[in-house]
Amino acid sequence: MGNKVSIGLLGLGVVGSGVIKLIENHQEELVHQLGCEVQVKSVLVRNLDKERDVEVDRTFLTTDPADILNDPEIDIIVEVMGGIEETYQYILDAFAAKKHVVTANKDLVALHGTALEEAARQNKCDFFYEASVAGGIPILRGITDGLASDRIQKVMGIVNGTTNYILTKMSNEGMTYKAALKEAQELGFAEADPTADVEGLDAARKMAILGRLAFSTDIALDDVEVSGITDLELEDLQYGDKFGYTMKLIGTAECEDQQVEISVQPTLLAKDHPLADVKNEYNAVYVYGEAVGETMFYGPGAGSLPTATAIVSDLITVIKNMRLGISGYHSPKPKFQKKLRGIEDRSGQYYLRIHAKDRVGVFSELSTVFNDLLISFKRILQTPIKKLDVAEIILVTHETSLVTFQEALNQLKQLDAVLEIKSYYKVEGDAADELAGTAKTLQ
C-alpha cells in the first residue's frame, strides 16, 4: 500500500465537493490516524467545463469511468454520482477490479445492497455506506458495531429532513402544507420535485437499509409500507397538539419472534417522546436493544459536509482494514430468513377524525360499532361545524389490533350518520393533554 492511498471519485456535486474539501483540509489528521497520505487521484464528471464549489486540477477530471475503474493505482472508489442501474454496474466493476467502495447512494443500497455486499465478499473488498442514511449521524456504524453485542428489537426515527421541516412549520407556525413546502424549497431543504420526500419513498429506502442491518435479514424496499404527508391537514396537527401529540413522519422497523414489520407513516407522537422535539431539517433515530434499552442518535440528516464526514469516516475504516489485511470481512451474510409480520398480528393506538351529522343519537350509533369490537378510548372530543350542520368527532383509541381498527373503519363508513372519515393516524406514546378531564365520552 505504501505511503499513499489513492481515491477515485465518481461524481463531483455538492457531496463530492465536500469529500475533496475534507480530505484536503484534514490531511494532517488523516496521516496521523492512518500513517499514510490520502489523495483523490481522479474524478468522474459529466461536464469538464462546469464551474464547481471546489477547485480541482482539470487533469484530475475525466468523463470516462474506465479511467478510474481500470486504474491499478486507485485503491478505493467513492461513489457520490447517484443513480441506480448504471452506478450498480460501476460498483460491480470496481469489486471485480479488487477496489473497495464507499457510497452515499441510499437508492442503490436499498434496492441492491444485498447483492453488492455479496459481490464485495466474493472479491474480498470492503463496501461501506454510512452516508446513505441520516447524513452525518453514525447510525449504521452504531447498529453494526456499537450495538453488535445486543439484539435490536426496534428502530424508529425521523430520517427525512424535508418532511420534518414542513411538519415543524405546520405545527409551530400554523402554516399550511403548501406554504411550508414552498418555504422548504426556497431554502433548499426540498427539491423542485419533492415527490420522493413528501410521499415517504426517501424515508422508506433508508428504513429498508436500517431494517436489513438491525435484524440481519434481507429486507427489500417493497417490504416497507409507505404513506407520505401530502394529504395531511392542519386541523389534525392542531387537534393532536390539544391532545398532547406532535405529528412526525416516522419510519419504524420492528422485530418480534423473528417477524419483521417495517413502515413509514405520519404518526402522532406523545410530546414527551424524544423524537417529538426533533425539529426542522434535523434527523434522529431511536434504537431499542434487548440489553442496552433505549438509545437515540441525533444530528444533521443532509448537507455537503455532514454527509462528506460520514463518507470520509468510512474511508478511514477501509484504509485501516487494508493495513490490517482484513478487508472484505465487515459484512456477514444475513443470519435470518425474512418473515414479515402479518396484518393479523399488528396492533397500535390510533387517532381518528370523523365528520358526522349533528343530531341526537349519533354518539349512540358510533359507540355501538366500537363497543361491539371492544375498542376503548383514551380521548374523545366533539366540536360542531355550525355552518355545515356537521359534528366533527376526534378519537384516540387505546391499544387495539389493526384488523379490528380497520373493521371499525369499514363499519363506520356504512353508517348513515357518518358523512366522512376525514383522517386516521397511528399514535405512539402516552400524552398528557390540555383537554384531559373535559373530553366527552361515548355513551
Residue 16 sits in the same domain as residue 85: yes
Residue 266 sits in the same domain as residue 192: yes
Residue 67 sits in the same domain as residue 165: no
Is residue 206 part of the annotated active site? The answer reads: yes
Determine if residue 333 is left, alpha or beta; phi over 0 gives left, psi from -120 to 50 gives alpha, anything else beta.
Answer: beta
| Non-local CB neighbours of 408 within 8 Å, separated by 6+ positions | 369, 370, 373, 375
Residue 120 sits in the same domain as residue 102: yes
Secondary structure of the chain in HEC code, one letter for each residue: CCCEEEEEEECCCHHHHHHHHHHHHCHHHHHHHHCCEEEEEEEECCCCCCCCCCCCCHHHEECCCHHHHCCCCCCEEEECCCCCHHHHHHHHHHHHCCCEEEECCHHHHHHHHHHHHHHHHHCCCCEECHHHCCCCCCHHHHHHHHCCCCCEEEEEEECCHHHHHHHHHHHHHCCCHHHHHHHHHHCCCCCCCCHHHHCCHHHHHHHHHHHHHHHCECCCHHHCEECCCCCCCHHHHHHHHHHCEEEEEEEEEEEECCEEEEEEEEEEEECCCHHHHCCCCEEEEEEEECCCEEEEEEEECCCHHHHHHHHHHHHHHHHHHHHHCCCCCCCCCCCECCCECCHHHCEEEEEEEEEEECCCCHHHHHHHHHHHCCCCEEEEEEEEEHHHCEEEEEEEECCEEHHHHHHHHHHHHHCCCEEEEEEEEEEECCCCCCCCCCCCCCC
pLDDT of residue 65: 97
Q: Would residue 335 count as lying in a domain?
A: no
pLDDT of residue 442: 40
Residue 409 has pLDDT above 50, yes or no: yes
Residue 277 sits in the same domain as residue 187: yes
Q: Over the stretch 205-239, which tens digit does the pLDDT of each residue have?
A: 999 999 999 999 999 999 999 999 999 999 999 99
Question: Which is nearest to 113 in space by CA: 263, 331, 327?
Answer: 331
Percent of the chain predicted with pLDDT > 70: 97
pLDDT of residue 68: 97
Q: Would residue 329 count as lying in a domain?
A: no
Q: Over the stretch 349-378, which tens digit does the pLDDT of each residue have?
A: 999 999 999 888 888 899 899 999 999 999
Q: Would residue 330 count as lying in a domain?
A: no
Question: Which is nearest to 419 in space by CA: 367, 357, 375?
Answer: 357
- Residue 253 has phi, psi (to 5 degrees) of -130, 120
Residue 264 has pLDDT above 60, yes or no: yes
Q: Among 262, 291, 324, where does a domain finish?
A: 324
Q: Would residue 333 count as lying in a domain?
A: no
Residue 42 sits in the same domain as residue 117: yes
Residue 253 sits in the same domain as residue 278: yes
Q: Would residue 205 count as lying in a domain?
A: yes
Residue 87 sits in the same domain as residue 186: no
Q: What interhelical angle do 201-215 and 106-122 show, nearest 10?
A: 30
pLDDT confidence bin for 329, thresholds 50/70/90: confident
The one catalytic residue in 99, 106, 169, 206 is: 206
Q: Over the stretch 101-159, which tens digit does the pLDDT of each residue have?
A: 999 999 999 999 999 999 999 999 999 999 999 988 999 999 999 999 999 999 999 99
Q: Would residue 130 count as lying in a domain?
A: yes
Q: Over the stretch 382-393, which tens digit does the pLDDT of each residue have?
A: 888 877 789 999
- Cα angle 310, 161, 116; round to 5: 45
pTM over 0.75: yes
The CATH number of whichever domain residue 149 belongs to comes to 3.30.360.10
Q: Would residue 443 count as lying in a domain?
A: no
Residue 247: which domain range?
139-300
pLDDT confidence bin for 1, thresholds 50/70/90: low
Residue 171 has pLDDT above 70, yes or no: yes
Handedness of CA 267, 273, 277, 280 (dihedral sign): negative
Residue 144 sits in the same domain as residue 265: yes
Question: Which is nearest to 121 in space by CA: 101, 148, 145, 138?
Answer: 101
Q: Among 292, 324, 356, where does a domain finish?
A: 324
The CATH number of whichever domain residue 380 belongs to comes to 3.30.70.260
Residue 113 sits in the same domain as residue 195: no
pLDDT of residue 169: 96
pLDDT of residue 434: 55
- Residue 252 has phi, psi (to 5 degrees) of -135, 130
Residue 147 sits in the same domain as residue 279: yes
Residue 24 has pLDDT above 80, yes or no: yes
pLDDT of residue 132: 95
The CATH number of whichever domain residue 56 belongs to comes to 3.40.50.720
- Kindly report the length of the chain: 443
- Taking residues 25-31, report their average pLDDT: 94
| Residue 186 burial by Cβ neighbours in a 10 Å radius (0-12, 13-18, 19+) | exposed
Q: Among 261, 292, 324, where does a domain finish?
A: 324
Residue 417 has pLDDT above 50, yes or no: yes
Question: What total number of domains does the chain contain?
Answer: 3
* Least confident range of 18-22, 54-58, 177-181: 54-58
Residue 295 sits in the same domain as residue 154: yes
Q: Would residue 435 count as lying in a domain?
A: no
